[in-house]
Amino acid sequence: MTALTTVAAVDLGASSGRVMLGSVGPGRLELHEAHRFPNVPVRVGSTLYWDILRLYSDVLDGLRAAAAHAGDPAAAARGPAGSAGDVARPAAGGAGRLASAGIDSWGVDFGLLDETGALLGNPVHYRDARTADAVPKVLARVPGIELYETTGIQQLPLNTIYQLAAAEGTPQLAAARTLLLIPDLLAYWLTGEPGAEVTNASTTQLYDVRARSWAWPLIGRAGIPARLFPPLRQPGTVIGPLLPGVAAGHGLPDGLPVVAVGSHDTASAVAAVPASGTAFAYISCGTWALAGMELDKPVLTEASFRANFTNETGIDGRIRYLRNVTGLWLLQESLRAWDAAGQPADLAALLAEAARLPGLTSLVNPDDPAFLPPGDMPARIADACRRAGEPVPTAPAETVRCILDSLALAFRRVIAGVQDLSGRHADVVHLVGGGARNGLLCQLTADACGLPVIAGPVEAAALGNVLVQARALGAAPRDLEDMRALLRATQRLRRFEPRGHGSAWQAAERRLPAGPARNP
């Protein structure tokens, strides 16, 4: 029987989190869910916060469930508090004791610690409106093109630089001594070791993408205290073992190492793109979609700045050159709205009905600011169609087809733009994440882009997290291309060939102007 190395991947999304158990060995890569939990923000007064202590508690429950699943006797005896149903039988192949854990999450948001290491208030949610006045303040100090030439990051009001500028002059910022991004904050509570993993640090608009260090001159010009920024660390670095009190208090293995992974979830997802060679584009599609290419160096031209493309750091120093597009948020909110109205919809049936409808009948800009907050999404989509002079969808299936056609058109624009701006050609598009389950979206994306789409793996972020941990432990291939070969050999993938309707998509582009990218 082949020995497997088993690790726990904590993967936190904007609406839910999960702890996945990954087992890696020669020619084998297995993934099992140990614990899943909601991630629900909390509004206090006029401010929207992350419920970070609830998340930390769920992470601990998930790690305990993962340890029990892996066969650790101490965890199996105790079980996760209130979560006995999460503990599954050990994976086939006898994974054995849990070897490490790693954490990835969304970008830009952070917690501030005082001089004793205590958290100074709950982290504020990137959807909070507090940065509205901070953007012009920062741009008056550092012009946008200079920010881009240093950081390569697109202009979004939710970026960390603007969140910190919004806190300027507050008692909390005056008392703060350390800034920790969300995965680093959770790792600090587990290990006591502060730091900043580079793939997430690169999303802050405070990281020098060429020097691969904090952008100290820019930080000073923006009026942000330099003392806040902890040492940077690379994916694959062992942050440290669990603190004894954490391990003993929660039934976790003594000395369990916590490994820095690609802690920005898209960095982990792109690491798990099962590509062969370099001539590929990717779409990491969930609530949000991030579409782009993997490059060896950033693109910092004025044209790239004007097009609002971003250069984020990836695994092994690769550049994730991409643009953000609103993803399945429109569909998710529509389903919630129909359910709240007493008209629950079966998604599979809706997708089948939508596939039979004429394509490109109604189109909207997915990045319309009206779609950003939660609410009655079908009504907002209908209103957007009226404003654009588009036919107004009335039935749920018509709304679903409008959403998916509109997303595919947005993907077409980004995939064309990334090739033009980077000077690189893509022969195929890899679509990973939850959107890979949606066969209609995958087919429409192939049609819109005029390129084959390879869909899967669905759990790309968790798989990338697992592989970086396993590589740090000597259990996975050292080379990223070999890691991707392992993914191709072990994961379920589907291929969608483009159908010959390029002229219809060209006409759709002329019909509906492109909009700005707005999501993290």
| HEC assignment per residue over 203-249 | CCCCEECCCCEECHHHHHHCCCCHHHCCCEECCCCEEEECCHHHHHH
d(CA 436, CA 438): 5
Q: Same structural domain for residues 360 and 398?
A: yes
Paired residues of 207 in beta bridges? 214
Q: Same structural domain for residues 293 and 210?
A: no
Longest dimension (CA), the chain: 64
What's the rounded mean pLDDT across residues 176-182? 98
216 pLDDT band (50/70/90 cuts)?
very high
Q: Same structural domain for residues 136 and 19?
A: no
In this predicted structure, which of 71-80, 211-220, 343-352 has the lowest mean pLDDT?
71-80
Measured between alpha carbons, how far is residue 190 from residues 51, 53, 117, 243, 375 in Å? 17, 13, 13, 6, 36
Structural domain for 123, as ranges: 107-230
> Which CATH number belongs to the domain containing residue 241 in this structure?
3.30.420.40
Indicate if 265 belongs to the active site: yes
Of how many residues is the chain composed? 520
- What number of other Cβ atoms are within 10 A of residue 474's Cβ? 8
Structural domains of the chain, count: 3
Residue 472 falls inside a structural domain: no
Question: Taking the chain, what is the end-to-end CA distance rounded to the nearest angstrom?
Answer: 44
Q: Same structural domain for residues 276 and 394?
A: yes
Q: Same structural domain for residues 306 and 444?
A: yes
Question: What are 252-293's pLDDT values in tens digits?
Answer: 999 999 999 999 999 999 999 999 999 999 999 988 899 999
Q: What percent of the chain has pLDDT over 70?
A: 93
Q: Same structural domain for residues 117 and 91?
A: no
For residue 150, the one-letter residue type is: T
Tell me, what's the pLDDT at 156?
Answer: 87
Residue 253 falls inside a structural domain: yes
Which residue is catalytic, options 265, 367, 405, 447? 265
Question: What are 200-215's pLDDT values in tens digits?
Answer: 999 999 999 999 999 9
Residue 295 falls inside a structural domain: yes
Residue 469 falls inside a structural domain: no
List % helix, strand, coil for the chain (3-state, nearest 5): 40, 20, 40
Q: Which helix (H) or strand (E) holds 292?
A: strand 288-295
Residue 25 falls inside a structural domain: yes
Are 356 and 317 within 8 A, CB to CB? no
